[in-house]
Structure 1
Amino acid sequence: MISALGYILLGFALMEFSGWFIHKYLMHGPLWMIHKTHHQPSSSFFELNDLFSLLFGGIAVVLILVGVEELDYRFWTGIGISLYGMLYFVLHDVLVHRRLKWFDRPKNPFLKGIFKAHQAHHRTNKKDDAVSFGLFVVPKEFFKHEEK
């Protein structure tokens, strides 16, 4: 069971690192034509950028399916990727972008930091001017205490 938890954490951590890397170097690089739909106003619920979620989700499903018989590292890593995806959906799509209006703006300092970092990321709709590319790997200046 300890190894299962380790692989879940590994899958989760790999998604944060690879998500940061892919976002910074591919989405804001050669895949900008797809990702730019996320940086532009849209009247549609879905955007072309959602293809990335389908890709990452597909990887998780494949890992789960090929590892389910033995409940081996592939299964648990796929579970970790899936958990990351679910948390990403809640934090990014629901809390930050309000694609579903389930919550108000965050009051928790950690969630406020994530929220502010993502707002800073979207201050530009250009490929090269963005900051803060991770969900949790966020520059610490976004977590500074606000004076009242």
Structure 2
Amino acid sequence: MIEAIGFTILGFVIMELTGWAIHKYLMHGPLWMIHKTHHEHSNSFFELNDLFSLLFGSIAVLLIFLGVGEFDYRFWMGVGISIYGMLYFFLHDVLIHRRVKWLDRPKSGFLKGILKAHQAHHHSVRKEGAVSFGLFWVPKKYFKHRER
């Protein structure tokens, strides 16, 4: 059981780290033509950028499928990636961008810091000049309170 928990956490952490690198070096690099749809205003529910979610979700499904027979490391890493994907959807699409209007934007705490970091990321509508490429791992400065 400890091994399953460890591989689940590993899948989650690997997704955040690789997601950060893919976002910074590929999405804001050679794959900008796809990702820029996320930085532009749109009245459509779907963006071309959503293809990245399908890709990452497919990797999770493949790992789960390959590991389900023996419930080996592949299964649990796929579960970790899936948990990451569900939390990503909740934080990014529901709380931050409000693509699904289930809840209001966060007003305090950890979620407010994540929101601030993501807003800083979207301050640039160009491929260059963006900051804060992770979802959970963001610079500490976004969690500091401003005194008025």
- Fold match, TM over 0.5? yes
Query: How far apart are the structure 2 equivalents of 1:102 and 1:118?
Result: 19
Query: How far apart are the structure 1 equivalents of 2:105 and 2:47?
Result: 23
Q: Which runs of 5+ in 2 are unaligned?
A: none
Matching residue of 1:114: 114
Three-state SS of the structure 2 residue aligned to 1:82 is helix
What is the RMSD computed on CA atoms of the aligned residues? Answer: 0.8
- How far off is 1:105 after superposition? 1.6
- How far off is 1:43 after superposition? 1.0
Matching residue of 1:130: 130
Matching residue of 1:10: 10
Q: Deviations over 1:90-133 (max 9, x none)?
A: 00011000000111121231100000000010011100010000
Q: Which is worse superposed, 104-113 or 122-131?
A: 104-113
Matching residue of 1:58: 58
Matching residue of 1:96: 96
Query: How far apart are the structure 2 equivalents of 1:117 and 1:45?
Result: 23
Query: How far apart are the structure 2 equivalents of 1:147 and 1:106?
Result: 19
Matching residue of 1:42: 42
Matching residue of 1:81: 81
- How far off is 1:146 after superposition? 3.2
Q: So what's the TM-score if we normalise by structure 1?
A: 0.98
Give the % identical residues. Answer: 73
- How far off is 1:82 after superposition? 0.1
